[in-house]
Amino acid sequence: MTSTLPPTTTAAERREDRRGGARPDARGSLALLAHQIRYEQLSFWRNPQSMVFTFVLPIVIISIFGAVFGGGRSEEFFFGLNGMEYYTPTIAAVSVLGACYGQLAIVLAMRRQTGILKRLHATPLPAWVYFAGLLVHCVVVSVVDVALVIGIGNLYGVSLPEGWAALALTLVLGAASFCALGVGVASLIRNSEAAPAVVQFIQFPLVFISGSYFPVHAEFLNDVAGLLPVKPFNDAIMASFTQDAGFQWRELAVLAAWGVVGALISVRSFRWDPRPE
């Protein structure tokens, strides 16, 4: 009996055939990507609790700082910046970190534990489409978060960013890097119950030593934090509010390097199946 597959069929194509689908062409891949982005968006917006806390927490924090510093807008707080000029970009950065790193790592751990990732991996959906859909979804959520924080900051007298192009590049690169790190951390989490603790164990120290909630004057801590991803992200976003600041290439390079580290960990360690207890 002769094979129904042509003799030039590769092993990867034979695996695709057994999984019930042909390898999608470029147009088909884009359609799959658009569908995956839509799915992630619908899953997010139809979960009111997740949606509310994702957007309300940064709004509450920046509003509290606005109430604290609202009576002294002209007083210098840190290197020529008043309180709201300092906290508007740092809280915007924290909101991106939460959406792209913390929330993503927890969601992936939960989807693995419940078997969603295992079932998804058995479909013809390419892995890159799935993760690209997650990335675009996180960027969209981050843009909304940052816009809300900047808008509230503007109500308290903070000028709008001067470098919109620099802000856009920083936001996209930061979101991509934190997503890669989120996937990498999710790869190391043993079960979904431990996910929040593991995520916060890493996130909280980074946020505090990076000056997100208060300026850090210790030179050693600033040097260490400058080699980690959060402080460069804070500094790059803050610079976009300064006239003629331009692109912060050093900070962007650090972000990109951490994105590569996260991607390498993800590729080597990511698991679709739940780990046996």
pLDDT on residue 79: 66
If one counts the domains in the chain, the total is: 1
In a domain, 14, yes or no: no
Place of tokens 């996910």: 195
Domain contains 274: no
Q: What CA–CA distance (Å, rounded) separates 93 from 230?
A: 8
Phi, psi (rounded to 5 degrees) for 151: -60, -45
> Contact at 8 Å (CB) between 230 and 212?
yes
Domain assignment of residue 5, yes or no: no
Expressed in percent and rounded to 5, the helix, strand and coil fractions of the chain are 75, 0, 25
In a domain, 10, yes or no: no
218 domain residue, yes or no? yes
Q: Is residue 35 part of a domain?
A: yes
Other beta carbons within 10 angstroms of residue 93's beta carbon come to: 30
Whether 105 maps to a domain, the answer reads yes
Predicted confidence pLDDT, tens digits, the chain (277 residues): 444 444 444 444 444 444 444 455 666 788 889 999 999 999 888 888 777 778 888 899 899 988 888 655 556 666 677 888 889 999 999 999 999 999 999 999 999 999 999 999 898 889 999 999 999 999 999 999 999 999 999 998 888 998 899 999 999 999 999 999 999 999 888 888 888 899 989 999 999 999 998 888 889 999 999 999 999 999 999 998 876 677 899 999 999 999 999 999 998 988 898 865 5
Q: Tell me which amino acid residue 126 is.
A: P
Determine, yes or no, domain membership for 18. no
3-class secondary structure per residue, 160-173: CCCCHHHHHHHHHH
Asked if 65 contacts 87 with a C-beta cutoff of 8 angstroms, the reply is yes
What's this model's pTM, rounded to 2 decimal places? 0.84
Range of the domain at 66: 25-70+80-269
Neighbour tally for 8: CB within 10 Å? 6
Give, as one character, the DSSP assignment of residue 247.
Answer: -
d(CA 22, CA 268): 26
Report the run of H or E that residue 152 belongs to, with start and end.
Answer: helix 127-155
In single-letter form, the type of residue at position 269 comes to: S
pLDDT at 193: 86
CA distance 169 to 159: 19
Q: Which of 187, 186, 205 is nearest to 196 (CA)?
A: 186
Q: Which two tokens stand for residue 265?
A: 């960990």
